Amino acid sequence: MRVLDSHLHLWDPAVLDYTWLEGPLDAVHAAVELADEQLTGVDEEAAIFVQAETVERHHLDEVRWVDSIALEAGVVAIVAGARLDRGAETDAQLAALAEHERVVGIRHLLQGEPDGFARTTDFLRGARQVASRGWTFDACVRAHQIPDVTALAAAVPDLPIVLDHLGKPLIGTADAPLEPSPEWLGDLRELAAGPQVHCKLSGLPAETGGVWTDAQVAPFLDAALDAFGPERLMWGSDWPVSSIDAGRGDRGAYVVGSRQRWFRTVAGWAASRGLDADALFWSNPLAFYGIR
């Protein structure tokens, strides 16, 4: 079995600056640490690095740093950070990123932006520049912002978009699970109507606080399958963000093996639904990101 992790983070606070790291995440999570989390029972493994929200001035530095450890970490492609709402400054950022062959896409983190931000003239201009370079866009939003991604897909139909973490639905905890809300289900179906939009089966462990049951997440995975179909789904670990058990200690604790556990959860679900594992875990992300 081959696995291409479509959503992997790496960082080193001694190399780059981050304002959001805290608790067990405020530590080095790079190639050496990832080596302890390699998946077992797979024949081949690689990963796509997704920007880890460094401070804005380090967006290009982040790509340079990841390039420097890419072979050691098994990174075959990079989704770089960039601000898409800065006009000529955005153009210059994208041109600089284009000098790095591993860059295949952009993520301007939308979850912290005001509602409607992805519909603004300045952002749409930048999104069109991303599309013109043949790159993809990772849309990381909270559930109530999914309609903004739908509007983006309609406004820039030649921009391949992937929804990170199923749009971060409310999923509850292992002890008090929630069913998918009608609002999230409806918004997901409307988003999936855009043929260029895909979805990552990632991030749900973080939404549960780091402890989940397979039965708890199955309805959400089923909803993504119903909306997007098997050819527009891809697996991602969201390592190391999804490896934190928020209930351990005052600030949570890093749990070794959570990446493997999430892989097994999704692999077991896929097998029970008769899905093509090679597509979900390998060829779908390869095709979406245009990796040769």
Q: Which of 238, 241, 268, 243 is nearest to 254 (CA)?
A: 243
198: containing domain: 2-289
> What amino acid is encoded at 79 in this protein?
V
pLDDT tens for 1-15 read: 999 999 999 999 999
> What amino acid is encoded at 38 in this protein?
Q
> What pLDDT was estimated at residue 251?
87
Distance from chain centroid for Cα 42: 21
Extended strands (E) in the chain: 2-8, 44-50, 75-81, 103-107, 136-139, 161-163, 197-201, 233-235, 244-245, 253-254
> What pLDDT was estimated at residue 105?
99
Token output for 166 = 């199923």
Residue 177 has phi, psi (to 5 degrees) of -70, 150
| CB of 183 closer than 8 Å to CB of 197 | no
| CB of 289 closer than 8 Å to CB of 105 | yes
| CB of 34 closer than 8 Å to CB of 237 | no
DSSP string, 44-89: EEEEEEE-----GGGHHHHHHHHHHHHHHHTEEEEEEE--SSSTHH
Count of other CB atoms within 10 angstroms of residue 125: 16
Rounded CA-CA distance 56/256 in Å is: 30
Are β-strands 161-163 and 44-50 bridged in parallel, bridged antiparallel, or unpaired? unpaired
> What pLDDT was estimated at residue 249?
83
Residue 284 has phi, psi (to 5 degrees) of -60, -50
Assign residue 204 the CATH number of its domain. 3.20.20.140
Burial of 173 (0-12, 13-18, 19+ CB in 10 A): middle
| CB of 252 closer than 8 Å to CB of 210 | yes
Q: Which residues of the chain have pLDDT under 70?
A: none
Token output for 75 = 């990174």
pLDDT tens for 210-261 read: 999 999 999 999 999 999 999 999 999 999 999 999 989 888 999 999 999 9
Number of structural domains (the chain) is 1
Segment (H or E) for 94: helix 88-97
Distance from chain centroid for Cα 8: 7
